[in-house]
Structure 1
């Protein structure tokens, strides 16, 4: 069963999605902040309730009877295990509704199914239940960079070989996007609507902030904070990390371990202004970065006498100028033809 199923059976969650108000918004925003690993479940459940994901046919009468029978059995077992005195403390009005929801769980699911069935039949002539969130993807090939604005006016820079998936319009609760590769974000400030970037299971949350996320390496995700404040948490971890400006977090996916250090601004985010920087880079690191930066293929004839520890900074330079400078330092010749390079030692 989907992890979103428990939300679909929650009367207050359904009421929030269909008829949101300030009290419900505040509660579910706090719930998602405390449970960042469930954000995707919330979005999926919302989509189901709002009519995004429905089967092509209505279920048979026999299937509906079986579903309601199973729900009845589950509710009876749940009622035997739980005590109505256990659950709730402050905010009595809210929790009174929760108790009522527990008592009326079967009725709530029945109402939800009715809503879904009516949506399928197209009985809502206004089409409001057929609203569909459209997801967009912007990508860059090797040798390309891209700068654009999101619907909330957040500015994004994508490095080469990267992609960003985001909704055509953000909902009222959270601004969630998904990044592959490397991107820099200048987040439009909105304290009531956190901005979140999901990168290989690592969730970065910000309000009004500028930061860089580098997922070029499959083993490591690196987040460098330029301004503001961000919280970082992996979906499989309970530990949350808070970053201050000038600090970068490197998260090792295999070990689920994080290391926080200061960073050099040019080294981490200089790419968005055309700065190609090498710090004690090996020969393999240099060729890999050149291929990605300029979108070329590199063949090597022979080999360096020893591995490189190359240092250099090139700002908005052509590939030929970079190769010429490198060849004088590392003693190699090169041939450049369109998008193909041959390095000879």
Structure 2
């Protein structure tokens, strides 16, 4: 098999396996369009590949020489009739390599790699009761709350920095005006250049929020391609089962305090209180008796122990408590 034929075979195989780059696909298309014989060769190999009678590798190995030989016999027959097939073939060969070289030069000139690389994604997860910080490849620092996860590529692309979040995270984004930073949060995109912001989207809460400390962010992903540019000191709140949103000024401790060890209750009912305690301390709360319907707790604790928090609350809410392993039992 000649060198040129081997090159075409390799391109066709990469294309059929779905592994060809854009420049390889373009080069193959030019070769196919160069002559009717090239088109027949490609269609014959493609037909065998799509057959389900045996493995693709065995089929191609056994048949491709036969396909090329048949195409060669057809060219010879045309030449005997006075057809200029040989000159057309060499013209097609020359055209193919000139185009392939031009495409390769274009990608190199634009600093694009000639072959696509598979980038691995990393995932960081925190269980209940655990918080962590992470440094991303671009220098962005992320504070990850309990019961939250962060996904990001080992290496960011040349044009965009994209991460995925569940739960809650605070970002101190490294400035790079030509490479936007985007945090994906259940269909919502938060785009920043050089910014400090917080995203909150716990699966067991009905509201998600984006809170901005400094810089500017564009929040998008709403119906009808809506987007909103958020200014520092404001946050956007979105109900998960609705498409609208509203904007309000932030309470620093309520929006960002968790990363500094501040546990805050701002008029919370018992269900919200229970959910916060379980997430913050990694316990399971079990309740005996009936909690007051007017729970409405307002309190702020800084790096305080669970025992001290419950002791403080028990004075006002008339409850007893005990810990059994990871089970917190509240008695009313």
TMscore range, shorter length: 0.5 to 0.7
Counterparts of residues 115-194 of structure 1 (less than 5 Å): 129=115, 131-194=117-180
Verify: 1:61 aligned to 2:46, yes or no: yes
C-alpha distance in 2, partners of 1:321/1:305? 21
Query: Helix, strand or coil: the match of 1:203?
Result: strand
Say which SS state the counterpart of residue 298 (structure 1) adopts.
strand
CA contact (8 A) 1:203 1:235 kept: no
Asked whether the 8 Å contact 2:206–2:240 carries over to 1, the reply is yes
SS at match of 1:299: strand
- Give distance in 2, aligned partners of 1:344 and 1:218: 25
8 Å Cα contact 1:224-1:247 kept in structure 2: yes
Query: What SS does the aligned partner of 1:325 have?
Result: helix
The CA RMSD measured in Å over matched residues stands at 2.9
Please say if 1:210 is aligned against 2:179: no
Alpha-carbon distance between aligned partners in 1 of 2:150 and 2:225, rounded to the nearest angstrom: 26
Residue 199 (structure 1) aligned to one of 174, 178, 185: 185
State the shift of 1:239 in Å: 1.2
Aligned length: 237
- 309 and 235 in structure 1: CA distance in 2 versus 1, 3 angstrom threshold: closer
Select 2:243's aligned residue among 243, 252, 256: 256
What are the ranges of 5 or more consecutive residues in structure 2 without an aligned counterpart? Answer: 1-14, 16-20, 27-43, 52-94, 104-112
Point out which structure has higher relative CO (alpha carbons under 8 A, 6+ apart): 1
Structure 1: runs of 5+ lacking an equivalent: 1-7, 19-58, 67-106, 116-126
> Alpha-carbon deviation of 1:255?
1.9
Aligned match for 2:265, one of 278, 281, 296:
278
Could you say which residue in structure 2 is the equivalent of 1:227?
214
295, 310, 314: which is aligned to 2:297? 310
Q: Distance in 2 between matches of 1:251 and 1:176?
A: 21
TM-score normalised by L of structure 1: 0.64
Q: Residues 222 and 243 of structure 2 are in contact (CA less than 8 Å); yes or no, is this contact kept in structure 1?
A: no
CA distance in 1, matches of 2:273, 2:205: 18
Q: 1:175 to 1:302 in 2, by over 3 A?
A: same
| TM-score for both structures, normalised by structure 2 | 0.66
Instruction: Note the C-alpha offset of 1:221.
Output: 2.0
Shift of 1:306: 2.9
Cα distance in 2 for partners of 1:177, 1:236 equals 22
Per-residue deviation at 1:130?
Answer: 6.3
The 1:130–1:189 alpha-carbon spacing in structure 2 relative to 1, beyond 3 Å, is closer
User: Helix, strand or coil: the match of 1:181?
Assistant: strand
Deviation by residue 1:86-137 (Cα, 9 ceiling, x = unmatched): xxxxxxxxxxxxxxxxxxxxx99xx99xx9xxxxxxxxxxx97363201000
Structure 1 residues 246-255 or 269-278, which shifts more? 246-255
For residues 60 and 218 of structure 1, the distance between their equivalents in structure 2, rounded to whole angstroms, comes to 55
Residues 142 and 294 in structure 1, CA contact (< 8 A), matched pair in contact too: yes
Indicate if the aligned counterparts of 1:336 and 1:342 stay in contact, CA closer than 8 A: yes
Partner of 2:29: none
Please identify, of 256-265 and 218-227, the stretch whose mean Cα deviation from structure 2 is larger. Answer: 218-227
Deviations 1:311-339 (A, max 9, x none): 00010011101110011111101111331
Bigger mean CA offset, 237-246 vs 161-170: 237-246
Partner of 2:287: 300
Structure 2 counterpart SS, 1:307 = coil
CA radius of gyration, larger in = 2
Match of 1:326 in 2: 313
Query: Deviating runs (4+, > 4 A) in structure 1?
Result: 63-66
Maintained 8 Å contact 1:137/1:166:
yes
